[in-house]
Structures are given as C-alpha cells and as structure tokens.
Structure 1
Amino acid sequence: MRQFQRPIALMWLVLANDANAHDWYTGKTDPVLQYDCCGNKDCHPIDSDVVRETKGGYYVRLPRPAYMNEPQEAEWFIPRERVQAAPDDRYHICERLMTFYRTITPHMKFEAYQRFRWTCFFAPRGTSSIAQAR
C-alpha cells in the first residue's frame, strides 16, 4: 500500500502546480473589445521566436495543424492598444477555434469552415508597448 501512496502524492502535486500556473488568465478581458480571454483551455505561452514587434503592435506567426479544412492566416497583427502585461517574462496568447460559413451556391447551400482567432495577447512588462501604455 505504501508503494502506491508516493506516486499518487506526486501526481497531485504536479496537477496542483499545473492548475495554478494558468490561474492568472481567468477573469482577464481584452482591453478594447472587453471579450473574455477564456481562461485555461484557450490561453498558453508562446515562444518569443514567433513574435515580431513593430511600431503599431505585434505580428504573431503560429504553426497551424494540417488537418484544417481552410488555410489559416500566416500572421496575426495585434494592435498595441490590445496588448496586456504578462506576469512573467514570456509572451502569451489566447485563441479560439471558430466556425465560419460561406455560400457555395448563392442563397442555396452553406459550407462551414474553421479558423483560429486570437482573443487576448500578453507581452512581458519590459517590452516597449507595456512600458509606454502602463
């Protein structure tokens, strides 16, 4: 019995730390549109290599799955006024897989397709957008 207690305790410790690591996304909203960032399932850290800062904001290029039935946008532009401060030294993005519709035959039949859309973006406090805005 004692041999099972240690792995179970270790598992609870790991799960508790993972849950706390993403708690800060909960309750966050986009500063301009006031949309919910959506919390744990849609928000995640991203590598700084996929982020390019410009005068007006950021360009983010994320790899997309090949199974999507619609080509994804090559890059997302995130305006400076929608950038929020991250609590750590990493970039974070919140994104959702959304369903859109288009007509195949005018006024007769619709086809559904899915695309990822970003909802919130967080940059490290040391970046110029955060230093100027806050």
Structure 2
Amino acid sequence: MRVVASIAMAGLVALGASQPRAHQAPMGWDYPYHCCSGADCAQIEAEAVRESPYGFVVTILPGEHPMWPTERRKSLTVYVPYDKATASPDGRWHLCINDAGDLLCFFAPSGDS
C-alpha cells in the first residue's frame, strides 16, 4: 500500500513539474499576477499582430484565445499603444485580456515594442 502511494505521489509531483502553472507562459516564465487570473493570458500567433503608427493592432478570431472562445461570433480587435507593450521574455507574442476583451497586458518580442 505504501509503495503504491509513493508511486502515485511521485507521478503527481512529476506531472506538476512538467505542466505550466496557471500564471505561466508555455515557455515557463510567469505572467505578472496583475495580468492573469489563470486564463486571461495566452501566447498568440504573430499573424494576429500588426503595427500602426500608434502601437499594435491585435485581431483575435473566436477560439484563438482562452478568453475569446469559439462561442463568440465576431473577431476581437485590441489596440495596444506602444507604451503599454512589455518586452516578451521568450521572444513571442502574448495577450492578456478579460472576458469582455479589454486589454490587461501585452507582451511583444524585443525590437517590436
């Protein structure tokens, strides 16, 4: 019985070590807590982002972000002023929004913000 419990505990520890935490990006760095309540932040594709003279314009199609599920019928457009963008620790794009689609945080690869 103790052996089974030990094996089960070791499996849980190993599983927990390999899975990103709720506030963690896929590459393992932590999203700031003011940006994320566990589902608000997600890595996004570079194709979803374009630059304008005033900042970034991000277009999220339904199902491309945890906070913008497939049940939504329309795409979401988020405008991010350059001064609201933060350098991304992993060189990838990340967007944090609330369930209304309002911007919480935005991470851009270095050189793009």
Other structure's SS at 2:42 match: strand
Structure 1 ranges of 4+ moved more than 3 A: 1-10, 20-23, 71-74
Name whichever structure is richer in helix by fraction: 1
Instruction: Calculate percent identity across the aligned residue pairs.
Output: 26
Matches within 5 A, 1:1-80: 1=4, 7-15=11-19, 18-19=20-21, 21-22=24-25, 24-27=30-33, 36-64=34-62, 65-68=69-72, 72=74, 74-80=76-82
SS at match of 2:60: coil
Is the 8 Å Cα contact of residues 84 and 122 (structure 1) preserved in structure 2?
yes
Normalising by structure 1, report the TM-score: 0.58
C-alpha RMSD of matched pairs (Å): 2.6
Partner of 2:95: 93
Matched letter for residue 87 of structure 2: A
Question: How far apart are the structure 2 equivalents of 1:126 and 1:3?
Answer: 47
CA contact (8 A) 1:26 1:39 kept: no
- 8 Å CA contact 2:60–2:75 kept in 1: the answer is no
The question of 1:123 aligning with 2:108 is answered: yes
Q: Which runs of 5+ in 1 are unaligned?
A: 28-35, 99-115, 130-134
TM-fit CA distance, 1:87: 0.8
TM-score normalised by L of structure 2: 0.67
Aligned length: 99
Q: Secondary structure at the match of 1:97?
A: coil
Cα distance in 2 between the residues matched to 1:122 and 1:85: 6
Deviations 1:71-130 (A, max 9, x none): 5454222111211111111011101113xxxxxxxxxxxxxxxxx222211101122x2x
Residue pair 2:61, 2:75 contacting (<8 A) in 1 also: no
Q: 2:61·2:74 contact (CA, 8 Å) conserved in 1?
A: no
> In structure 2, do the counterparts of structure 1 residues 21 and 38 end up closer, same or farther at CA, with 3 Å as the change threshold?
closer
In the TM superposition, what is the alpha-carbon distance from 1:56 to its structure 2 partner? Answer: 1.2
Unpaired segments ≥5 residues, structure 2 = 63-68
